[in-house]
Amino acid sequence: MSVLRGKKIILGVSGGIAAYKTANLVRLFIKAGAHVQVIMTPASLDFVTPLTLATLSKNPVFSEFYDEENGSKWNNHVDLGLWGDIMVIAPATANTLSKMANGTCDNLLLATYLSAKCPVYFAPAMDLDMYKHPSTLQTFATLTQYGNTIIPAESGELASGLSGEGRMAEPENIVAFLEADISKNLPLKGKKILITAGPTYEAIDPVRFIGNHSSGKMGYDLANEAAGLGAEVILVSGPTSLKLNNDSIKLINVVTAKEMYDACIIQYEHMDVVIAAAAVADYRPKTTADQKIKKSENVFSIELEKTNDILATLGELKKNQFLIGFALETENEIENAKLKIQKKNLDLIVLNSLQDAGAGFGGLTNKVTFIDNNFNIEPKELKLKEEVASDILNKIINHYHA
């Protein structure tokens, strides 16, 4: 899956013949899973229609400070600049690039550029002599000094009929350039992370099982977030209806605690990090009936036996892995969590308490406390599980980049 998925991209279109390529560029951004907001200079309207780019981007296209057709609505360049995760100016003409370098602000695109807080990329598009002119080369150098990134022009036939350097990079190459540039700076690039998620089901008979109320959402949010940060992620998941939104994640579906144990042991040696977010059954029926058990007795007993303790085993086998466990407690939370850190050789534990409203199984939120292996305690406020996942992964990033 593309690292552009979920990114908010401001696409600035200036007035060059290469503007016709922006229709395909927008299509590729959308296909990669990005959100696109197009801003056009007035001159670019002669080369490609706003309707085309609005239809492809699924957003209105802006080119003026005021939208006279919509009651003179103010198109706020500050809000637009703050909205984007990435700004791409393509085509970037010599005129627009010169204005960017010198702080000239005579249209909405330039005002948005000057307001943007995100990384800015520009794809030059101009004729050969213009591209080689000392003033243009100085503009490139100035913009690079500002922290902007040039997407190099390609060689080929130009609008003038000449052939040479200055042709805007093809849309496919612009997307590839962005993906490569973003990927190399991701904080978990090169790290292998194993995550467990969801419940396990321990069969009583062919139709009944022992389980719990875990939805798996915490583990799935962790997997999606870790993959987005560049990690190579393996998710071992118990039964859940959840779907992943990142195709790069390797999903291993399991049902029982034994299956989850086996999958984790097989993968563990090659992992840098393990996050055990699954709610694994502590006990399973000692025997499983081959046929459905009929309702006949008033009292029915099931003999249970312990399942393999996945986290304790991983702690025993640990070499250099960063091992994170979860604890769901109802009493003596801190003391029990500290004991779990020691007994299972953990680096960090994520403590949930069922005493806290909004925490625990089944919901969209969680309230956790981090405790590390030095017993430093860091309580967190109630947050969405996606935000909790981000906090956990920041702990991993800090471990490797401290």
pLDDT at 65: 82
Domain positions in the chain are: 8-184, 192-285+303-401
Does domain 8-184 fall under CATH 3.50.50.60? My reply is: no
Cα(129)–Cα(319) distance, rounded to whole angstroms?
Answer: 60
Cα(390)–Cα(397) distance, rounded to whole angstroms?
Answer: 10
Q: Which of the residues in the chain have pLDDT under 70?
A: 1, 68-72, 162, 354-362, 402
Does domain 192-285+303-401 fall under CATH 3.30.450.20? My reply is: no
> Which SS3 state, helix, strand or coil, does residue 320 take?
coil
The number of helix segments (H) and strand segments (E) in the chain equals: 13, 23
pLDDT at 69: 63
Catalytic residue of the set 212, 245, 308, 345:
212
> Which SS3 state, helix, strand or coil, does residue 156 take?
strand
Cα(31)–Cα(245) distance, rounded to whole angstroms?
Answer: 14
* pTM across the whole model: 0.76
pLDDT at 147: 96
What secondary structure does DSSP assign to 29-90, as a single string?
HHHTT-EEEEEE-GGGGGTS-HHHHHHHHTS--B-SSEEGGGTSEE--HHHHHHH-SEEEEE
Instruction: Dig out the tokens for 66 from the structure.
Output: 């005021």
Asked whether 186 and 229 are in contact (CB, 8 A), the reply is yes
Q: Among this protein's residues, is 185 annotated catalytic?
A: no
